[in-house]
Amino acid sequence: MSKYVFIVAITTAFWWSCKSETPADAAVLANPGEAPAVNLDSVVFALICKDITQAGDKVKHHDVYAVVGHDTVRVGTIESCQKIAPADYEKYEIPANAYEAVGGTGADNITYAVYLGKSPEGKINARIGHNYPGKKSGSFDYRSMIVFNEEDIAPASVINPAAMTGSYLHKGGASSYVLYLGYNNRTLIGQLYTIKGALPEQKDSLMTAISNATPEIMADIQVDWSNLSFDSAKGPGTFKRNGNRIESITFSKLANGGSLTLEKKEIGE
């Protein structure tokens, strides 16, 4: 087996082992006891319409996405998609306490609706339904498409640990760095590669350079979720965020005792 194939196998195994948790697990903070209590009044709830109509389509198509805190999930596809005012909820057989609703009338006068609301059991549901002329009242036949457990919802101000996973790059002169971060068993872990010289621009050449470097393992990165500072086997540092995305990671003392910043970027971009 070539060294290039070997490093691809190793990094792939590392990556999948770190990504093995379900989205619901990943949405829980690594240190749940340190997480702020969830106040649903501080959580963002929204429905987004995305026109996906293709040339030649006989009818319109819109994907509907539910935004709950830091999560955005596709709910389904409907023909007509505009915001439904709360005053019109009764017309669409939508509960008065729904957070948001979208819909409208499409071909053959079929009326579509999607709403985001809270069930009596305390779960946040995204439900989709439709009605058509002549169909009896109460027959939107809403189906639950997405369910969010309240205890798994984090306010938008709290970063999702899964957003930290991926590759980080630093293109230096004498030395460059590649960092892989993964999240497994509610623990942030990493592999840091030090590469002599500048990072190759071509993906194949970069992977070969990584294969020639020995990874340094960071088995348990302790994150302070209030300010995204951390401590690791390579010393302390901080994550820089932009909204719910991580832009970079900075180690306070890494390169010759000085600070070092690696930008979050996929290999080959």
- Reported as a single tens digit per residue, the pLDDT across 197-220 is 988 888 888 888 898 898 999 988
Q: Residue 243 — φ and ψ, nearest 5°?
A: 65, -125
In sequence order, the 6+-apart residues with CB closer than 8 A to the CB of 134 are none
Q: What is the DSSP string of 69-93?
A: TTEEEEEEEES--EEPPGGGTTTTT
170 and 258 housed in the same domain: yes
Claim to verify: residue 82 and residue 185 sit in the same structural domain: no
Residue 123 covered by a domain: yes
Residue 24 located in a structural domain? yes
First to last CA, the chain: 26
201 in a domain, yes or no? yes
Instruction: Provide the residue range defining the domain that includes 24.
Output: 3-34+158-264
Please report whether residue 269 resides in a domain.
Answer: no
Residue 267 DSSP class = T
Query: Are 26 and 64 members of one domain?
Result: no
* pTM of the complete model: 0.48
The predicted pLDDT at position 113 comes to 95
In this predicted structure, what is the pLDDT of residue 253? 83
Say whether both 102 and 147 belong to one domain.
yes
Residue 62 lies in a domain: yes
Same structural domain for residues 83 and 7? no
Domain termination residue (choose one: 152, 171, 186): 152
CATH of the domain at 255: 2.40.128.50
pLDDT, residue 85, reads: 94
Computed from CA positions of residues 142, 73, 43, 51, in that sequence, does the dihedral angle turn out positive or negative?
Answer: negative
In a domain, 53, yes or no: yes
Q: Among residues 152, 187, 207, which one ends one of the domains?
A: 152
46 and 145 fall within a common domain: yes
Residue 22 shares a structural domain with residue 105: no
Are both 45 and 146 inside the same structural domain? yes
Spell out, as residue ranges, where the chain has pLDDT lower than 70.
Answer: 1-43, 136-138, 150-158, 243, 255-257, 268-269
User: Based on the domain organization, do 116 and 188 belong to the same domain?
Assistant: no
pLDDT of residue 256: 66
Residue where one domain finishes, among candidates 135, 152, 169: 152
Are 19 and 69 found together in one domain? no
Number of domains in the chain: 2
Tell whether 110 is covered by a domain.
yes
- 162 and 196: one domain? yes
Co-location of 23 and 106 in the same domain: no
10 Å CB burial of residue 47 (0-12, 13-18, 19+) is: buried
Q: 242: which 2 tokens?
A: 């932009």
Residue 213: inside a domain: yes
